[in-house]
Every structure is written in structure tokens, then in C-alpha cells.
Chains A and B, each alone.
Chain A
Amino acid sequence: MSVTLVKEKYSSKVGEVVLGATAEQGGTRTSTITVGGDSALPFLHFEGETKNRPVIAMEVTDVVPSWPDTIKNRIGDVINDPAAWAKKCVDDFGADLIYLKLDGADPEGENRSPEDCARIVKDVLAAVGVPLIVEGCDDGEKNNEIMAVIAEAAAGENLLIGIAEQDNYKSITAAAMVHKHTLIARSPLDINICKQLNILINEMGLPLNKIVIDPTVAGLGFGIEYVYSIMERARLGALANDKMLSMPIICTVGHEANRCKEAYASVEEFPGWGDLADRSVLWEAVTASGVLQVGASILVMRNPAAVSIVKKNIADMMGD
């Protein structure tokens, strides 16, 4: 006798979004990346297609970051030079794309001008052929200024730019529309705001296939279960044809995981937690694995060693 399996029939799928643009498409990238398009829950190949495998964007910052030494030592001297750092991520660490975070724009820090920020973006674009994600600093107003200039300077590159938030989305949405970029819409661990923000952005005229959702990740041990369930619900919504929840999802895993004490506290300080080297790698990698199981399309990561094992996990889940 054979067992009759339960296979779900979904009415829709996750939308597809293309990142980057080649010369023919008006940009300078040597290749583009397509994310999304899944027609089932993650990695359930028996009932639907995981059309595009999840990708890893490695994080590069324009000022030397205050990250733990466990990560900085692996990156090495290039940490002083965003373009060289980006190149090393692609060439040596196998990053699928680069996530450039312009912390130097922060008025409370270096307070870099929009033109300086745009120059750094151009430098990184020149150094690598992969698509680029660009986010600003923690100051919403300043970000609107820099993103307008960056979007224009990199017109046609189809950058993935962020972030649009519920109370600050118009300026960056306009910049994305005018200069042909794709937009990150971030909502604070709230599926209703997530949906509402997509509606607002779409109403301004940005097509749905130019939006990527950032649901705000939480690190392992610090609320990952919230984003886990929000993402699982969003994926089920997308499969049930809720167009305003059907964009691919980006997760800033490296940022969140490495804020957790378990990712950086020494074994001398917490003898009960075991050796720091492996613990810090796994803290980021397990955070990534958690969100992969509920439908992350783009993982933004920091630690090259974590990137390496997550890539293997993705290959396993794709049945390579």
C-alpha cells in the first residue's frame, strides 16, 4: 500500500525581483541576480519550485566598523577601503552581492556629504561586477539627502536602495522611481505595517517587482521567533495570492546576530558558553538558517566563516 501524501496547491507564488543591471540594461554590472519566484514553502521541492536560490550579500561599511575582532581579523586590512573590501568579499568569500552601509553619513559621526557618499558607491561599483545594495546611516533625514544624490549618480544600475519606512518613504521611493532602482521597505516586526507600507509605496507608482521587504530581523536568542512567524505568515500570504505580501524578503542577519552578547563575549567572561570562535560564527549562521527556513531570499551577513557554512546549508537545501 502506498501513502497518499498531502501536497498543497497554492494559487500564487512569491514575486520575482531582479537586482543590478548589465550594460545592455543601462548599468555596468557583469551579471544580475534574480530573487523570489518560489511557489511553495522553503525547500519543499516535492510540491513547488524554489526558483531562485537564496543569496548572500556581504556587508561593507564606509567607515571602519566597530565589529568584534573575530570578524574584523578575518576580513583583514581591506576593512579600511570599501572598494577593496567589497572585492575581497566577492573574490575570496563568495558573496553573491554587496551590501554597502554608509554609516559615515551620520551627522553625529563623520557627517559625510551626499557627494562623498555617491563617490564611495561609484568606487565600489567599479571594484565589483555583482549587484549592489546601498543603505544609509541611522538618520532618516540625512538618508533622504544622500539617497537622492546616490540614486542619480548610479542611475540605471538598478541598485537595491534602502530604507523606506512608514513615516519616511516618499523621498527614497521617488529617487528609486526616477533613477530606476529597487527599494527596500522596512517594517518593525509587524505584518500589517509591512503590507501597508508596500501599498503606500506602490500607490506612488513604484511597481511591486521593484520592492523587497525587510521585516526587521531579530538575532538568535533575542526574538528571532517573532520574525520567524511573521515571515512564515507572509510566505503563506504570498502563496495565497496576497500581492502586497509577495515580495522577496531581505534579512540583515549579520547586524542583528552580532549585536547579541553570545556572538562576541569572550569565553573568559562566560565560561559556560564555550569557545568564542565557533560560537560567534554559529550565532550568525544559525540566525541565517532560522530565517532561511521561513523564506529569506537575501541574507545580509558579516562573518566570512558564517557565510561559508550558510552557503553549504543553502546548497544542501537546494539538493545540490
Chain B
Amino acid sequence: MALTGLEIYKQMPKKNCGECGVPTCLAFAMALASGKASLDSCPHVTEAARENLDSAAAPPIKAIKFGKDSVLGDETVLFRHDKTFYHPTTLLIYVSDSLSDDELNAKVQEIKGLEFERVGLQYSIDGVAIVQESGDAGRFAKVVATVAEATDKSLVLLSNDPEAMKGALAPLASRKPLIGSATADNYEAMVNLAKENSVPVIIKAEGLDALEELVVKAQALGYKEFVLDPGSRTPVDTLANLTHIRRLAIKKKFRPLGFPVIAFTTKTEPMEEIMEATVYVAKYASAVVLKTSAKAHILPLMTLRQNIYTDPQKPIQVEPKLHSVGAVDENSPFYITTNFSLTYYSVEGEVETSKVPSYILPIDTDGTSVLTAYAAGKFEPEKIVEAMNACGIADKVKHRNIIIPGYVAVISGKLSELSGWKAIVGPRESSGIVSFSKSLT
């Protein structure tokens, strides 16, 4: 949690010299607390005070960046309704270095195909985790190089052998892969290797006590770009560990475990594996490594991730332009709704089910639903007429009927008057559209 101005003031030199540009140390502390000033502008702050302030101001879960724009951690709440979750779980596909060259190429091609488009949003897989299972350092380096060559996505390199890791990492340290895992047996070599190459490293131990101990030892090497693996490999134990680590970081600001957590699936049947991964996406994993890479398996998981990480305060919106469903013509019905993504896609889905090709115009209501928009004065006849004129619907259909949501039946008179079109009151809920559409003909 951020410090208050008074807590910061205690650490100030209290000279009131004004060299920072603010007349007094107290005023400067207040500015620091609200993020309007930087500690760097104080020439007199002591090193000890700087360290205290830096660590107190650090986020409860450290942000770890790696690969191509992957950011892990830096979360501030336990529940999305408390504020929001910021950094969607990074999803990585497991690739073993014991695959044959043909299998490897096929797998990499499949991974590269994991790009999706639905409801106007783009999703793509974040990266690849290459795992040394061959026991052969040369093979590991070769497979890592092959994958790195084939894709620019984020990379995770996994081997318990620091020498093998060193060889594989050397040519692509600039890609900033996440490496692992540093365990009680190899942590000095592994953490030092990470430090030398400025890449983050996974710290792995069995259970939270051992993990905390290892993190403390690893930090003593002068590095703290860590991702945690508490070692559990069953869904229920992993859920418990993920919850404990998140709570300790957020509620207790417990520094040794204030890092993002990576989870590994263990199910071998792909659909069961996706179910396992959903648990970790919902509950606190910053990264998940999974084996299946079939589109039909990854799309539902990525959709859940997108949903859970949606900011509850910023509804997703669709573009407020004229949309058409099916092979529309000049007789097609014309619906209006709001540009709140859920409202719009509910209407669109039902219109599609009705099998009557239609136009739909979402009005820009700042992403609010029909009733909320109406209550806030964002679904007024004037605004609707403006949007109708802007989209040119009058040239696209020869009828002059507008279907409005049943909840705003009250605007039908004024809308008819202002637009010169006939406002037809449609169903209140989108689920009524199918039967309503039958009444149109």
C-alpha cells in the first residue's frame, strides 16, 4: 500500500530548503504521496531514507517483464470487483526438446496459428516454453534456437542444468526469455546466469516455506527479477498456493513472496487440461504453461482470460456504426441498441438466430446498457436521429421503420416526430427478438 504524505515526511531531511521546487519538505512529501513529484528532485535525501521509501512504495507484487511485451504480476487486489486485474495471465505452450525435428516443426506451426478474432477482439498466444527433457545440452540449444527463429513470441527456457541453460541462452539473451528453474540445488549458478544476462528467473521449491527460504537466498546474490513456482502439481494444491501467495503479497506485503507465480498443468487429456488451466487463470496465476495447442482448446481459455481481466469499470464497447447481419437489402428491418459490447452482441446473436437479414445501429452510450443509458440521458431521440443521419440508413432501406428496445418505449413518440420514421417498440430483452421478428412480416 502506498505511504501517506506524513509517513514520507518522516524520512525527509526537513531542511525546507526549497531546492526541489516546493517550498517545504512537508509539501514535497505530499506531492510525492500523490505521485506528483519524484524523490530525485531532493538533493539532500539520505541513502537510507531513499531505500526505505523505494521499498515502501514498491508494488505488493513485483512486475516482471520478459520476452515480447509479456508482463507478469503487478496486481493490487484479490478480487476483480475490488478494482481490476491488470496483467492477463501469460499463456505459454510447452514444447519438449525430445520432439523429433518434424514433430517440432509441426508443433511450432500449430502454435503460430493461435491467433483468434471474436466479437471484434484479437487474441493471440503469448509464447512458448521450451523444456529440456532430452538430457542433451546440444539438443536443447538447437531446439531453443529453432523455436526462437520461427517465432518472435515470448520464450521460457526450462532446464535444471545451468550449463545447458547457459548454452541455449547465450545467443538469444537480447530476446529476454524467462529462464528456470532455480532450485535449492542449482540456484547460485542459475540466478547468477540470469543476473549476468539480465533475464528473469523462476525460483522453484516444494511448498511455501522452502520457497520463501530459497527466494531469500537468491536475493542475497543481488538479484530480484523472480517468478515463483511453489512446486504443487495438482489443481487443488496449486489453487491453495496461488491464493496464499497472492494474499500474503496483497494483505501482508510479504516481500519474499511478492513476485508473480507461474503454474504448470499436469492433466494429459487436452480438454481436462484446459479445465485445469481455467482454475489458474481465474485464481492468480501470472503465467500458465500448457501442452495442448489446438485452436479449439485454446480459444475458450483465452476467452475466459479476457473476460476475467476486463476492467469492471470500463465496459467493452463496439464501434457505433451501422452493422449488418446476413444478406441485407432495402427491405431489411432496422434495429437500434447501445454500443455496450454485451448488449450489442446479445442483440446481434438473436437477430442472427431469427434468420432475417437486418441492420443494427448501436448508439454511442459510452458502453452502457439500454436502461442505464436512458437513465443517464444517453439514449435520447436527438442523439439517435443524429446517428441515423451519420450512418446513412435512409439510403440503404426504402422503408422508414426503426425498431427500438422495449425498455425505451417512452421515446417512440418523440423519435417518430424528430426522425420522420415510424418507431416500432421491440421486445425488452434480446431473447424476444426471434419471435418479434416473425411478427414483422
A residues adjacent to B (C-beta < 8 A): 1-3, 5-6, 41, 43-46, 108, 138, 218, 220-226, 228-229, 232-233, 236, 259-262, 272-279, 281-283, 285-286, 289-290, 293-294, 309-310, 312-313, 316-319
Answer whether residue B81 sits at the interface, using C-beta atoms and an 8 A cutoff. yes
Stretch in B68-76, B132-140, B177-185, B303-311 with 4+ CB within 8 Å of A = B303-311
CB distance A278 to B297 under 8 Å? Answer: yes
Contacting pair A3 B254 (CB below 8 A): yes
A45 x B209 contact (CB < 8 A):
no
For window 294-331 of B, CB contacts with A under 8 Å fall at 294-301, 303-304, 306-308, 310, 312
What residues on B are CB-neighbors of A41 within 8 Å? 243
Q: Which of A6, A226, A276, A318 meets B236, CB within 8 Å?
A: A318
Most central of B274, B307, B342, B352 by chain A CB within 10 Å: B307
Asked whether, in the complex, the Cβ of A44 is within 8 Å of the Cβ of B296, the reply is: no
B282 touches A293 (CB 8 A): yes
* Cα–Cα distance between A161 and B274 once the two chains are bound (Å): 33
The closest CB in chain B to the CB of A260 belongs to B349
Stretch at the interface among B55-63, B87-95, B110-118, B148-156: B110-118
Q: Is the CB of B295 within 8 A of A272?
A: yes
B278 at the interface (CB under 8 A from A): yes
Q: How far is the CA of A223 from the CA of B208 in the complex (A)?
A: 35
Task: Give me the 5 closest cross-chain CB pairs, A-B, nearest first.
Answer: A274-B295, A274-B296, A279-B296, A6-B247, A282-B300
Does B279 reach chain A (CB closer than 8 Å)? yes
Tell me, in angstroms, the Cα distance from A282 to B79 when the chains sit together: 25
* B236/A290 in contact, CB under 8 A: no
Task: Return chain A residues, CB-CB under 8 Å to B345.
Answer: 222
Tell me the bound Cα distance from A233 to B295 in angstroms.
33
Minimum distance in angstroms from A303 CB to a CB of chain B: 12
* Distance to closest chain A CB from B24 (angstroms): 39
Q: Is B271 among interface residues, defined by CB-CB distance under 8 A?
A: yes
Which residues on A sit within 8 Å (CB–CB) of B213? Answer: 1
- Asked if B104 is at the interface (CB within 8 A of a chain A CB), the reply is no
Give the distance in Å from the alpha carbon of A153 to the alpha carbon of B28 in the complex: 77
Q: Tell me how far the C-beta of B139 lies from the nearest C-beta in chain A, rounded to whole angstroms.
A: 31
Residue from B80, B81, B208, B304 in contact with A286 in the complex, judged by beta carbons closer than 8 Å: B304
Q: Is the CB of A262 within 8 A of B299?
A: yes
Q: Tell me the complex Cα distance, A318–B235, Å.
A: 10
> Known: A225-B308, A282-B297, A312-B275. Contact between A290 and B282, CB under 8 A?
yes
Contact status A282-B295, CB under 8 Å: no
Distance in Å from the Cβ of A45 to the closest Cβ of chain B?
A: 7
CA distance A294 to B279 in the complex (A): 11
Cα of A259 to Cα of B433 in the assembled complex, Å: 14
Chain B residues whose CB sits within 8 angstroms of the CB of A281 once the complex forms: 271
The answer on a CB contact under 8 Å between B118 and A3 is no
Interface residues of B (CB under 8 A from A): 79-81, 115-119, 208-209, 212-213, 234-236, 239-240, 243-244, 247-248, 251-252, 254, 256-257, 270-272, 274-276, 278-279, 282-283, 294-301, 303-304, 306-308, 310, 312, 342, 345-346, 349, 352, 431, 435
Q: Is A45 touching B307 in the complex (CB atoms < 8 A)?
A: no
Do the beta carbons of A220 and B304 come within 8 Å of each other?
A: yes
Least CB distance, A70 to chain B, in whole angstroms: 12
Contact A262 B240 (CB under 8 A): no
Q: How far apart sit A286 and B299, CA to CA, in the bound complex (Å)?
A: 11
With contacts A1-B213, A138-B431 known, is A272 near B117, CB below 8 A? yes
Contact of A225 (CB < 8 Å), options: B254, B278, B312? B312
Q: Is the pair B248, A273 in contact by a Cβ cutoff of 8 Å?
A: no
Alpha-carbon distance A262/B299, docked complex (angstroms): 9
Expressed in whole angstroms, the minimum distance between the Cβ of B229 and any Cβ of chain A is 15
A154 to B306, CA, bound (A): 44
Give the CA-CA distance A221 to B345 in the complex, in Å: 10
Chain A positions within 8 Å of B240 at CB level: 44-46
- Select B435's contact among A108, A229, A286, beta carbons within 8 Å: A108
Contacts of B431 in A (CB 8 A): 138
| Complex-state Cα separation, A1 to B256, whole angstroms | 12
Q: Smallest distance from the beta carbon of A144 to chain B beta carbons, Å?
A: 19
Which residues of the other chain, A, contact B115 by a CB distance below 8 angstroms? 272
A3–B212 Cα distance when bound, in Å, is 7
- Shortest B273–chain A CB gap in Å is 10
In the bound complex, residues from chain B placing their C-beta under 8 Å from that of A274 are 294-299
Q: How far is the CA of A43 from the CA of B435 in the complex (A)?
A: 42
* B342 adjacent to A1 (CB under 8 Å): no
Residue of chain B at shortest CB distance from A220: B303
Q: Is the CB of B272 within 8 A of A275?
A: no
Please give the distance in Å from A220's CB to the nearest CB on chain B. 5
Q: Are B307 and A5 in contact (CB under 8 A)?
A: no
Q: Which of chain B's residues have a CB closer than 8 A to the CB of A319?
A: 234, 236
**A3 vs B297: C-alpha distance when bound (angstroms):** 37
Please name 19 further chain A to chain B contacts, defined as beta carbons within 8 Å, in addition to the given A3-B256, A6-B247, A272-B116, sorted by A numbering: A44-B239, A220-B303, A221-B306, A225-B307, A225-B312, A228-B308, A229-B312, A275-B295, A278-B296, A279-B295, A282-B274, A285-B300, A286-B278, A286-B300, A289-B304, A293-B279, A313-B275, A313-B279, A317-B239
On chain A, the residues within 8 Å of B270 by CB distance are 278
- Chain B residues with Cβ under 8 A from A318's Cβ? 236
Take A220-B304, A225-B308, A229-B312 as given contacts and tell me if A6 and B244 are in contact as well, using a CB distance cutoff of 8 Å: yes
User: Are the CB atoms of A229 and B79 closer together than 8 Å?
Assistant: yes
B17 to chain A, nearest CB (A): 43
A279 touches B300 (CB 8 A): yes
CA distance A319 to B82 in the complex (A): 29
With contact pairs A1-B213, A262-B299 given, residues A222 and B346 touching in the complex (Cβ less than 8 Å): yes
CB-nearest residue of chain B to A188: B429
CA distance A142 to B296 in the complex (A): 40
Q: Roughly how many angstroms separate A221 CA and B282 CA in the complex, as a whole number?
A: 14
